[in-house]
Amino acid sequence: MATGILPVAGVRLAAAAGGIRYQNRDDLVLMELAEGSVAAAVFTRNAFCAAPVIAARRHLGQAAPRYLLINSGNANAGMGEGGLAASLETCRLVAAAAGVAINQVLPFSTGVIGEELPVDPFARAMPDLLSSLEEDNWPPAACAIMTTDTVPKLASRSFQAEGQTVTVTGMSKGSGMIRPDMATMLAFIATDAQISATNLQQALETAVGPSFNSITVDGDTSTNDACVLVATGVSGVDVNAAASGQAFRQAVDGVCMELARAIVLDGEGATKLVEIVVEEAESEAQARDVAYTIAHSPLVKTALFASDPNWGRILAAVGRAGVSHLDISKVRIWLDDVCIVSRGGRDAGYTEEAGQSVMHQPGFTIRIALGKGQARTRILTCDLSFDYVKINAEYRT
């Protein structure tokens, strides 16, 4: 088990090599959940949602899940009815081998869009997956769900309640095609806490807002994004109550934030982690519009890669973000604590050396005050490097 990663009672995982797209590496994961587990999930808002998203949503509405089946290398997206049939067949394979109902299996896929998902690798790997299920297999599972990721992404938290230890552990994958709605990412988080399905869903949605739904690498929303939170209840600790519930939500928030930050840090070719804070907006929606306009500007992102404090690019992005009746004399912009823009232009105290000193850091904050209200937001993004173009140009070759 990786340092600091805690097993979750009632959850066992296994990874296996199916050869779906990658050779000589694991690309299939099976997660077994204790009987009586409850699950919550949020999915992509892309209209062309992948077949496994359709199947997982359907099954979640019908039965309590016992198994999650995940594959990398093939997204099973854009394949119409044939894609849905393949996804359901993989669920049937698990159900038949494990002795559960087909709707107790939730499928998830990530990888290349528009290619038929082969079912044979699932059938061949199923005996190995079922025979190698272990509580401490989080690290190999996190590696198996990777596509263009360069590192596995794992996080754990624990807290004390009713004299017992409650654990929350999660894994995620994501590196490119990252934009909220869900943010291409998959995330699977588990806890041994006892909680109602309604409270679990609420905890997940609350955690996803400032974490997975506040990150962007390139502005693209995938067809396959999903985030699942399961609670086995094996610890016997009821976190529906106010006191223990607060500790539980903090643990879930912490795991989601750590995983989301890891996704941006591992953005394809990324060299910088940049927080964009927009404050003094009329609404959070307005603040987010400004933040994402900056984060998605290729000119801003390439300047970040070059460590070039070309503040005119940030200024221009703010100006075209659609803020009505923006009084530019009230707008202020900072790089960390260095004010670069005030009173409608370059701040009187700004120097190129000070700006460049900030931009050379591997991580820093761009902060914008709009001078219009009290609303505030923050998102995480990264730079756009040569490697991003190379990785995505060569993704299918």
SS3 percent helix, strand, coil of the chain, rounded to 5, is: 35, 25, 40
Q: Looking at domain 11-265, does it have CATH number 3.40.50.1000?
A: no
Separation in Å, CA 333 to CA 16, 130, 317: 49, 55, 12
Instruction: Indicate the domain borders of the chain.
Output: 11-265, 273-393
CATH architecture entry for 273-393: Roll (3.10)
Active-site annotation holds for 167: no
From first to last of the 397 residues of the chain, give the pLDDT tens digit.
566 899 999 999 999 999 998 888 999 999 999 999 999 999 877 777 889 999 999 999 999 999 999 999 998 988 899 999 999 999 999 999 999 999 999 999 998 888 999 999 999 999 999 999 999 999 999 999 998 788 899 999 999 998 899 999 999 997 644 444 433 589 999 999 999 999 999 999 999 989 988 887 655 556 678 899 999 999 999 999 888 999 999 999 999 999 998 988 876 667 888 999 999 999 999 999 999 999 989 899 889 998 989 888 999 999 999 999 999 999 999 999 999 999 989 999 999 999 999 999 999 999 999 999 999 999 998 888 766 666 667 655 5
How much is the pTM? 0.85
The reply to whether 273-393 shares the fold of 11-265 is no
Cα radius of gyration rounded to whole Å, the chain: 22
Active-site residue among 184, 232, 377, 381?
A: 184
Give the pair of three-digit tokens for residue 201: 């869903």
Closest of 249, 34, 45, 26 to residue 146, by C-alpha: 26
